[in-house]
């Protein structure tokens, strides 16, 4: 008998994504025509919770939605994927929204927090009430920073493992970072946090060293199509990206983080979890949308089998 899977708690944003596909982003004073438009549930917190659920994790979402037409739709979307939504609260007003412009396979995002900004200590206390030592907290920076810090404090008091995706990146996270066991920034977020862009191995080492000085336990830097780098103490390991025909990178990072959390909850070593997450994210970028583009556990396992078979044939 293997040990029981740890529960994962996600404290974070729940947004409705309003997505326009464009030939180019508008310049100052310019109007451009969209090639297509669609809306679907998103938000970094919600996307990461969905990724965990679809990849086989036991996950509870802690967040807020509004009383507009989007709120209940987003809660139902989470529940449909198997996320525990008992601690998703509803407040009078508008739900969080994200306006996303997609050019090629790259995206630019404007976030309007709305209901996400009302997340309070009582919500976090209630949501984390049943958490046990060894359970995992995943959080980001699309909810108030004070509440992110509070959630991390509560999690550490309970003996939980903490994962922070510092997005959208903010400077001056001094009191937050010592509470983080695993920090997962991308290249741009790494530069904002450290002043160092991880353009090569030397700069990556310098950036990670600085993050360690801030008090972070371990660091995973996602590098887009180039893969990721995982740092445990003095050990730095590059994980190559998987070549694929990318059409939309919107939820790739959220898929990666959700996959890492899920595999850590199963007891998998962090480096193996990063390799698994790389495969999961490589599937996400081949599909449009947010939560709907995230693969299932079965899809990732099939992709891994195909890659292993192809490697044996070489």
Residues involved in catalysis: 254
CB neighbours (10 Å) of residue 298? Answer: 11
The CA distance from 124 to 284, in Å, is: 30
- First-last CA distance in the chain: 36
DSSP 201: H
Q: Burial of 120 by CB count in 10 Å (0-12 exposed, 13-18 middle, 19+ buried)?
A: middle
Q: What stretches of 81-186 show up as alpha helix (H) in DSSP?
A: 121-127, 145-157
Angle, helices 270-284 vs 252-265, to 10°: value is 150
CA distances from residue 59 to 22, 134, 311 in whole angstroms, order as listed: 35, 14, 34
User: Shortest CA distance to 290 belongs to which of 19, 7, 59, 96?
Assistant: 19
Say which residues have a Cβ less than 8 Å from residue 271's Cβ, sequence separation at least 6: 230, 232, 237, 239
Query: For residues 283 and 295, is the Cβ–Cβ distance under 8 A?
Result: yes
Q: Is 172 helix (H, G, I), strand (E, B) or coil?
A: coil
User: Shortest CA distance to 191 belongs to which of 177, 175, 201, 204?
Assistant: 204
The CA distance from 177 to 236, in Å, is: 20
């Amino acid at each position: 008998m293997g040990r029981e899977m740890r529960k994962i708690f996600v404290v974070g944003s729940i947004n409705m994504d309003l997505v326009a596909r464009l030939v180019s982003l508008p310049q100052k004073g310019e109007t451009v025509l969209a090639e297509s438009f669609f809306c679907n549930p998103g938000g970094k917190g919600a996307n990461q919770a969905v990724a965990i659920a679809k990849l086989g994790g036991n996950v509870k979402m802690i967040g807020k939605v509004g009383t507009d037409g989007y709120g209940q739709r987003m809660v139902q979307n989470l529940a449909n994927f198997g996320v525990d939504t008992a601690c998703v609260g509803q407040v009078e007003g508008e739900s969080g929204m994200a306006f996303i412009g997609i050019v090629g396979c790259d995206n630019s995002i404007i976030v309007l927090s709305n209901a996400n900004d009302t997340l309070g200590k009582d919500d976090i206390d209630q949501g984390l009430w049943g958490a046990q030592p060894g359970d995992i907290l995943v959080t980001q920076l699309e909810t108030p920073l004070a509440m992110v810090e509070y959630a991390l404090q509560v999690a550490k008091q309970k003996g939980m493992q903490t994962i922070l995706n510092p997005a959208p990146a903010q400077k001056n996270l001094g009191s937050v970072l010592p509470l983080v066991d695993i920090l997962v920034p991308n290249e741009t977020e790494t530069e904002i946090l450290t002043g160092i862009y991880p353009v090569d191995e030397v700069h990556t080492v310098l950036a990670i060293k600085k993050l360690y000085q801030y008090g972070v336990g371990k660091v995973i830097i996602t590098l887009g199509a180039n893969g990721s780098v995982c740092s445990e103490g003095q050990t730095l390991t590059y994980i190559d990206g998987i070549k694929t025909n990318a059409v939309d990178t919107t939820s790739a990072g959220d898929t990666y983080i959700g996959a890492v959390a899920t595999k850590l909850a199963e007891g998998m070593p962090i480096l193996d979890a990063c390799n698994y997450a790389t495969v999961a994210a490589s599937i996400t970028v081949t599909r449009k949308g947010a939560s709907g583009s995230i693969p299932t556990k079965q899809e990732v396992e099939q992709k891994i089998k195909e890659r292993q078979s192809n490697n044996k044939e070489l």
